[in-house]
Amino acid sequence: MTSGSWAGDRRVEGTKIVQRRAVSAVLAAAALVLTAACSSGDDGGPPGGAASATPSRTATERAPSAGGGAAEKAPPATGTVKVVRTVAEGLDSPWGLAPLPDGDLLVSSRDEGTIVRVDGETGEKTELGEVPGVSAAGEGGLLGIALSPEYASDHMVYAYFTSASDNRIVRMLYEEKKPAGEQLGAPDTIFKGIPKGFVHNGGRIAFGPDRMLYAGTGESGEEGLSQDKKSLGGKILRLTPEGEPAPGNPFPDSAVYSYGHRNVQGLAWDTKQRLFAAEFGQDTWDELNAIEPGGNYGWPEAEGRSGEAGFRDPIAQWSTDEASPSGIAYAEGSIWMAGLRGERLWRVPLKGTKASADPQSFLEGDHGRLRTVVPAGGDRLWLVTSETDGRGSPGKGDDRILELQVS
């Protein structure tokens, strides 16, 4: 089954928007946050609904690289996962998660277009407000969220969402002293023009260790966008906090960091500042990739490992019914990957940028579809379920945030 052809221009340029607020470009690393589109044209449910350029020399000087690591020590071949507790229940179509400095959590609702604060101890939920302009349909809506790395001083929350015309990234002031439901300031659009579709909207955003903002995008169902470097679809983007193409990007004056992706919804860095990304396949292979600046990851010419010159092969791959990956996180020497259709959490132990042992699965079928996984410090992870997204089978208490202990 093909992924279909949804609305979206084949050549769409990003647009920087003049800001009403200035946010300093000197940032510290932030918590990562994650998302959905998947095999057979959907984001993890049953089936249903190139020009060449030369990377600049400065790309690997200023941006994290996936290279190196041959002498690094690998973690044990097998690991463990323990569900420590259920942090919160009763969430509606949760998608992105951003931990606050005090231990509470911000959670976005894809379909409601709202952001909720969850007390990290009691699970009590408080709505910050609704993000204006969200147009939720299919796999689109309010998706990834991330805190400014200067959140302690600027209180800015970034969000990636689907509007009536495109996917875009905004930032909003979180004013905690205002009444519940009125705590989000007016959104400043910092980047727009990312192709939208009923499927494959990408949506994960995260600040990297280089203090830049990364965004995973989808090809919106138009496969040709992935190989078109002038399109923002099917890419990983790298931006300044103000929405400019980041210094050191591989293609001059472009936000594109890597291309040839189908639908990126997981972003994570290891302790050596190397970037990894999870990607939905179509009918055959889902992927975990080690990302190099300017790298071509093959879609739609290649799905999974192809060995073809010019394409970068994944470091791990899965059949689409075993994974349909969304969010990923790095902890205890491994990448942890949430599976939607696969309804399990995958562990991929790393040595450098290679898998050092076969992937290992946990929690299979225990909590249904798994959307987002975020580091919680040390050997702990936050895990968000996704049974209320229209493709699951929600039961009492869905959806949930779980705290995990991993090794």
pLDDT in tens, 236-266: 999 999 999 999 999 999 999 999 999 999 9
User: Per the structure block, which two tokens stand in for 101?
Assistant: 């400095």
- How far is 392 from 305, CA to CA, in rounded Å? 29
Q: In this prediction, what percent of the chain has a pLDDT beyond 70?
A: 83
CB 402 within 8 A of CB 376: no
Q: Where are the beta strands (DSSP E) in 195-322?
A: 205-207, 213-216, 236-239, 256-258, 264-269, 275-279, 285-290, 316-319
For the chain, give the longest Cα–Cα distance.
Answer: 57
Amino acid, res. 76:
P
Statement: residue 36 has pLDDT above 90: no
DSSP H helical segments within 103-213, as ranges? 151-154
Q: What is the pLDDT of residue 11?
A: 29
CB 200 within 8 A of CB 263: yes
User: In angstroms, what CA-CA distances link 65 with 72, 88, 208, 237, 252?
Assistant: 16, 36, 12, 14, 18
Sheet holding 285-290, edge to edge: 264-269, 275-279, 285-290, 316-319
Statement: residue 1 has pLDDT above 50: no
Q: What is the pLDDT of residue 180?
A: 97
CB 368 within 8 A of CB 345: no
Q: Where are the beta strands (DSSP E) in 224-314?
A: 236-239, 256-258, 264-269, 275-279, 285-290
Q: What is the pLDDT of residue 3?
A: 34
Q: What value does the mean pLDDT take over residues 97-102?
A: 98
Of 111, 162, 161, 160, nearest to 6 (Cα)? 162
The region of weakest confidence among 24-38, 79-93, 300-314, 322-336 is 24-38
Q: What is the pLDDT of residue 71?
A: 74
CB 386 within 8 A of CB 94: yes
Statement: residue 141 has pLDDT above 70: yes
Q: What is the pLDDT of residue 67?
A: 57
Q: What is the pLDDT of residue 310?
A: 97
pLDDT in tens, 63-84: 666 655 457 899 999 999 999 9
- How far is 389 from 326, CA to CA, in rounded Å? 13
- How far is 266 from 335, CA to CA, in rounded Å? 10
Query: pTM here?
Result: 0.87
Indicate the average pLDDT of the chain.
88
Q: What is the pLDDT of residue 20?
A: 33
Q: What is the pLDDT of residue 112?
A: 98
Classify 378 as helix, strand or coil: coil
Task: For domain 39-46+71-406, give the CATH number.
Answer: 2.120.10.30
- How far is 321 from 336, CA to CA, in rounded Å? 17
For the residues of 84-130, what is the DSSP string, one character each? EEEEE---SSEEEEEE-TTS-EEEEETTT-EEEEE-TTT--EEEEEE
Q: What is the pLDDT of residue 54?
A: 35
At 6, the pLDDT band (50, 70, 90 cuts) reads very low
At 62, the pLDDT band (50, 70, 90 cuts) reads low
Cis peptide before 43 (omega within 30 of 0): no
